[in-house]
Amino acid sequence: MNRSPALFALALLLAEPAAADAGSAPGGRQVFMTYCRLCHGDAGEGDGPAAKLLADHVRPANLRRSVLIRTEKERIIRAGGAAVGRSGSMPPWGEQLSDAEIGDLLAYLSVLAQPTTTP
């Protein structure tokens, strides 16, 4: 069976990472507070202090309600919003953040997106 190398590469890009690559949520919280909180807010609800100042007047994503899969979130973090058809105000962090920091950030985002319960 002759399979296209391009299809194989696409499948690798879309595959969810293995649990070993999941990252550290506490480390990701540090990355989030340094790079993301100004726009996305302390709780990730898109209400950070810089949100009102964005040039395209698009509110930052509410990361607590995100339905994107990990690979989509990673693509946005690495390439920025404009690269994936979203807000151009979301900068590309792929040059500033290491792979480990991005993994940690993704782990923290998965914690943010979990529903909270009230007693």
Neighbours of 44 (CB within 10 A): 23
**pLDDT tens digits along 38-91:** 999 999 999 999 988 886 678 899 999 999 999 999 999 999 999 999 888 899
- Domain range spanning residue 27? 21-112
C-alpha closest to that of 105 among 69, 73, 81: 73
Q: What is the CATH number of the domain that holds 99?
A: 1.10.760.10
Model pTM score = 0.77
Residue 5 falls inside a structural domain: no
Q: How far is CA 12 from CA 18, 21, 52, 90, in A?
A: 12, 14, 37, 25
What residue type is assigned to position 1 of the chain? M
Residue 92 falls inside a structural domain: yes
Residue 3 falls inside a structural domain: no
